[in-house]
């Protein structure tokens, strides 16, 4: 089974999606499972993980409803208020749904680069293991050292790094991203998503070879068993079509053995997120 571990759905309105800047007009409309399904079939993807795009409990409920309606949505990474005194009740309510597999916070939009180490946030992360939930790390490169501290605090908590931490691909910059990524990969409880790369490249002029140096670092650092693929659809469409974006990862892993490809393209995601058939 091939799994796209990262895409979003929304019913567009400008209030909730103010992060869509000029040049992102392609995103400013509804994007729903019915829109993605033919693209999955075209590329040969069997299942997906839907990831939060708004920091609301309402969206988490909505994504779980979509997962009930569309069997190809194998799991949901939702949002809960990790800093809330009512977090335990929120986790109890949502974790009763079999397709909630993890949660995420949009850390890279927080003004404090050390936000993840705030006492209330750390307390929230500490509750996730009791509910069998993973945590998606949405970061910029400057947050990687902080992520290392967080991963060290919770060695039993499964973390996954989204979008390889958004390195400066357009400018061809590897350091200090590569060094810090290797430090994070040294924590065995951290996995990495090969996703979201085209939006960090030149939207109009990227080439598949632009990503090779970054992918080399990711696979060397995390190894075959801790890498998974994701599209970041529909955000990725500002820079390429779904097939173009997915082909970058598929072409890179083609150099691996069949068993290794099966792990990267599906088995690792199924194991990490505990995805249902």
pLDDT in tens, 40-57: 999 999 999 999 999 999
pLDDT for res 18: 85
Residue of 277, 273, 270 lying closest to 101 (CA atoms): 273
Handedness of CA 240, 241, 245, 248 (dihedral sign): negative
- Enumerate the β-bridge partners of residue 10: 31
- Enumerate the β-bridge partners of residue 18: none
Task: Pick 276 or 191 by higher pLDDT.
Answer: 191
* Burial label, 199 (beta-carbon count in 10 A; 0-12, 13-18, 19+): buried
pLDDT for res 224: 98
- List the domain range (segments joined by +) for residue 121: 3-273
Supply the CATH number for residue 167's domain: 3.20.20.140
Is the per-residue pLDDT at 22 higher than 90?
no
Q: What is the mean pLDDT of the chain?
A: 97
pLDDT for res 277: 66
Residue of 73, 75, 80, 74 lying closest to 94 (CA atoms): 80
Residues 90-118 have a mean pLDDT of 96
Is the per-residue pLDDT at 259 higher than 70?
yes
Q: What angle do CA 83, 89, 95 make, to 5 degrees?
A: 100
Q: 277 in helix, strand or coil?
A: coil
Q: 103 in helix, strand or coil?
A: strand
pTM score: 0.96
Number of domains in the chain: 1
Residues 25-32 have a mean pLDDT of 96
Judge whether 44 and 243 are in contact, CB under 8 Å: no
Residue 51 CA to residue 54 CA, distance in Å, equals 9
Is the per-residue pLDDT at 136 higher than 80?
yes
Residues 239-255 have a mean pLDDT of 97
């Amino acid at each position: 089974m091939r799994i796209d571990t990262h895409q979003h759905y929304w019913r567009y309105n400008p209030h909730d999606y103010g992060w869509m800047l000029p040049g992102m007009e392609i995103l400013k409309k509804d994007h729903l499972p019915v829109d993605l399904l033919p693209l999955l079939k075209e590329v040969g993807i069997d299942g997906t993980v839907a990831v939060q795009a708004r920091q609301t409990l309402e969206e988490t409920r909505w994504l779980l409803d979509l997962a009930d309606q569309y069997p190809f949505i194998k799991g949901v990474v939702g949002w809960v208020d990790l800093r809330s005194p009512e977090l335990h009740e929120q986790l109890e309510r949502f974790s009763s749904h079999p397709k909630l597999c993890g949660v995420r916070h949009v850390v890279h939009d927080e003004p404090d680069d050390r936000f993840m180490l705030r006492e209330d946030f750390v307390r929230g992360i500490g509750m996730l293991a009791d509910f069998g939930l993973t945590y998606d790390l949405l970061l910029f490169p400057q947050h990687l050292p902080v992520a290392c501290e967080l991963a060290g605090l919770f060695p039993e908590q499964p973390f996954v790094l989204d979008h390889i931490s958004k390195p400066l691909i357009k400018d061809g910059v590897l350091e200090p991203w590569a060094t810090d990524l290797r430090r994070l990969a040294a924590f065995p409880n951290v996995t990495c998503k090969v996703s979201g790369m085209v939006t960090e490249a030149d939207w109009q002029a990227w080439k598949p070879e632009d990503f090779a140096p970054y992918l080399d670092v990711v696979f060397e650092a995390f190894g075959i068993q801790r890498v998974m693929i994701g599209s970041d659809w529909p955000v990725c469409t500002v820079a390429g079509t779904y097939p173009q974006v997915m082909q970058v990862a598929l072409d890179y892993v083609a150099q691996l053995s069949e068993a290794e490809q099966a792990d990267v393209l599906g088995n690792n995601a199924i194991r990490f997120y505990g995805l249902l058939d």
